[in-house]
């Protein structure tokens, strides 16, 4: 299903409402969460809505999609830092309810395996929030990632490193590798909402719309999922057929 709104604010409000509804229906839900510019206004809205509704969030479990390898939790560009800054601290989510891939783990392969196993042991996630990269990645699953992948180490594509360079003072500081939840982990989620806003996403959204299910375009795997909503603003939807 596609939902297209005029403004980023409307997109964020709708997406936050979908999350709020899930939390109200199931206060012990497991939520899969994304980072990035697109999600900042979504988390701002969601924090506001959760505060206003005095919703209990203490029983939720959070699983983040990805993390850079080599950045500590205190590094201001780590996804751990981002999540505490934009969401977890603002809701006082207890640390033991938060799962983030550990980009500093000594045994990264083991840490990846354990991450997927934890998700599976809990019976999968109820809700997954996704953004999309300009090359069609979801999480950090870059083009040609196997649809059957579990949490794994990925070498970031040049395109992704350039796109994400805007967050770093110097392009050379952008990590070359990351950990990401796999596409199979994402597909096993009950409900998925992918959000894309801004003109820069118009090309990949049109490609995704027209594409068949193909590992060259990781987000196309979502077309196999029964409950996925693509939430777009007018700019991101600009190249879709009327």
User: Which residues participate in catalysis according to the annotation?
Assistant: 66, 135, 137, 142
65 is an interface residue for ligand F6R by CB under 6 A: yes
The strand pair at 152-155 and 66-68 is best described as unpaired
Task: Report the 10 Å Cβ neighbour count for 110.
Answer: 10
38 is an interface residue for ligand F6R by CB under 6 A: yes
For ligand F6R, how many residues bind (rule: CB under 6 A)?
14
Residue placing its CB nearer to ligand F6R in the complex, 35 or 78? 35
182 is an interface residue for ligand F6R by CB under 6 A: no
Beta strands in the chain (DSSP E): 2-5, 30-33, 61-64, 66-68, 98-99, 127-130, 152-155, 177-180, 191-196, 228-233
Rounded to the nearest whole angstrom, what is the least distance from the CB of residue 215 to ligand F6R in the complex? 16
Residue placing its CB nearer to ligand F6R in the complex, 61 or 131? 131
Torsion of CA 198, 213, 109, 155, to 10 degrees: -50
Contacting ligand F6R within 66-95 (CB under 6 A): 66, 79
What Cα–Cα distance (Å) separates residue 159 from each residue in 35, 101, 132, 156, 222? 17, 22, 13, 8, 22
Q: Spell out, one character per residue from 119 to 158, where the chain touches ligand F6R: x when CB under 6 A holds, - when not.
A: ------------xxx---xxx-------------------
Give contact residues for ligand F6R (rule: CB under 6 A): 34-38, 65-66, 79, 131-133, 137-139
């Amino acid at each position: 299903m596609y939902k297209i709104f005029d403004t980023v604010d409307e997109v964020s409000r709708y997406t936050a409402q979908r999350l709020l509804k899930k939390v109200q229906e199931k206060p012990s839900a497991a939520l899969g969460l994304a980072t990035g510019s697109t999600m900042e206004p979504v988390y701002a809205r969601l924090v506001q809505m959760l505060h206003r509704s005095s919703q209990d969030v203490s029983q939720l479990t959070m699983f983040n999609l990805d993390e850079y390898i080599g950045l500590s939790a205190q590094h201001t560009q780590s996804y751990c830092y981002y999540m505490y800054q934009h969401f977890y601290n603002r809701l006082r989510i207890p640390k033991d309810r938060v799962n983030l891939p550990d980009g500093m783990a000594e045994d990264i392969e083991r840490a990846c395996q354990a991450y997927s196993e934890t998700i599976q042991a809990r019976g999968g996630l109820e809700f997954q929030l996704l953004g999309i990269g300009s090359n069609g990645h979801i999480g950090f699953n870059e083009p040609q990632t196997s649809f059957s992948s579990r949490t794994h180490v990925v070498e970031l594509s040049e395109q992704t490193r350039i796109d994400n360079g805007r967050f770093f003072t110097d392009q050379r500081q952008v990590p070359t590798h990351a950990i990401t939840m796999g596409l199979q982990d994402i597909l096993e989620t009950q409900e998925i909402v992918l959000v894309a806003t801004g003109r820069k996403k118009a090309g990949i959204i049109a490609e995704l719309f027209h594409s068949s299910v193909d590992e060259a375009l990781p987000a196309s795997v979502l077309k196999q999922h029964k409950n996925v909503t693509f939430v777009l603003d007018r700019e991101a939807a600009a190249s879709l057929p009327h």
